[in-house]
Amino acid sequence: MTKISFVCPIFNKKKYLKIVLSSIKKQVGGFEKEYIFIDDGSTDGSLEYLKKKTQNWKNTTILSQKNRGPAIATQYGISRATGDYIKLVGGDDIMAPYCCEILLKTILKKKSVAAFSSYKLLQSYNDISFEKNTIENFRFLENPLTATITSSFSGTTPNLYCNKTIQKSGGCNKKLFIEDFSLVLNLARFGNFCFIDNITSYGPKNDENRIMIGKKTQLIHDYNAALYYFIKKNELEDSILKIACKKSLGRSEKWYRREKKKTKFNRMNFLRICLFLGSKNYLNLIRESCIFIYQHSTKDAIRYKIDDYSP
């Protein structure tokens, strides 16, 4: 029987855990289940609550570590997973009861290494309404690397990943704070991706503790840093390297205009011109996109700077 490992990193999510655990437990489908929770140094009682509420769950592992961020916590959980597929679950996300079932059907259609569905943010979890569990608008990418770089495919709760391929690819980059883009980027070298339009999970819309809301600068940086490390360890065609550089430089330039409310010519504009004129120093260009963020953000905005950076 196919086995799915639920991997759920948690940091100060106690107020959400009751409904999160309920949505995990209510997953339907003809597959074996394994539950792995990783407490990332919570200080709000999340670990104690988690232990209490799952004490009678079968096939459950609870791991604990000092606060090191979701990438390290997630990879720690993945390293203990024995399932055929990995179902990452955000510590404040709610899954539709058929989430895993429909994602499993989707990923098996083309023997994909990753299946992506849709996700919705809500003001209140009282507004959740689960939709039909039939696959909507199935499509797939045979060679997804370029599209992954261009579109920044990522995500946790709405997606399903092949565990064997994660092990082969290296999984989450533990030199980063944020987990999902580096994971997907690594997977993109090893198989096709598939997509459906079904909304399979929900998250809180205005919670400042969510990374996409409270740590936007970290998020932007880690997308660029993930590309930096990826290019550093893989031999890629010039066409792909150019796309990665253009994306990284543009991302940092937009971040600067949005955060600093400045539209004047800056170093990212200059480096984009250099790339257009034929510069092939691709790794350094992406490195510069990270350094630019360090130079124009607060001291504590970025956790885990790229490993060869020295101010």
- Tens-place pLDDT, residues 221-239: 999 999 999 999 999 999 9
pLDDT of 308? 82
On whether both 28 and 162 belong to a single domain, the answer is yes
Q: Determine the pLDDT at residue 60.
A: 98
The residue from 207, 239, 262 where one domain ends is: 207
Same domain, 233 and 117: no
Q: Which of 86, 75, 155, 83 is nearest to 118 (CA)?
A: 155
pLDDT band, residue 143 (cuts 50/70/90): very high
pLDDT over threshold 70, residue 100:
yes
Give yes or no: residues 226 and 254 share one domain: yes
Identify whether residues 167 and 243 lie together within a single domain. no
Helix, strand, coil % in the chain, rounded to nearest 5: 45, 20, 40
- As given in the structure block, the two tokens for residue 88 are 């990452």
Q: What is the pLDDT of residues 13-69, one digit of tens each?
A: 999 999 999 999 999 999 999 999 999 999 999 999 999 999 999 999 999 999 999
Q: Is position 94 within any domain?
A: yes
- Does residue 241 share a domain with residue 102? no
User: Which 8-state DSSP code applies to residue 125?
Assistant: G
Residue at 134 is within a domain: yes
Structure tokens belonging to residue 241: 């390297």
| Mean of the per-residue pLDDT values of the chain | 95
Confidence of residue 99 (pLDDT cuts 50, 70, 90): very high
Which of 178, 207, 236 represents a domain boundary (last residue)? 207
Helix axes 267-276, 238-260, angle to 10 degrees: 160
Examine the domain organization and report whether 23 and 127 are in the same domain. yes
Structure tokens at 136: 């909507």
Q: Is residue 133 part of a domain?
A: yes
Q: Grade residue 207 by pLDDT with cuts at 50, 70 and 90.
A: confident
311 lies in a domain? no
- Of 145, 176, 207, the residue that ends a domain is 207
pLDDT at 259 over 70: yes
Residue range(s) defining the domain that contains residue 172: 3-207
Interatomic CA distance for residues 271 and 277, integer angstroms = 10
CB 191 within 8 A of CB 93: no
When divided into structural domains, the chain yields a total of 2
CATH of the domain at 35: 3.90.550.10
Of residues 3, 73, 77, the one with CA closest to residue 34: 3
pTM recorded for the entire structure = 0.95
Give the relative orientation of helices 216-233 and 180-187 as an angle to the nearest 10 degrees.
30
48 lies in the same domain as 180: yes
Band the pLDDT of 212: cuts 50, 70, 90: low
Domain presence at residue 47: yes
pLDDT range class, residue 124, cuts 50, 70, 90: confident
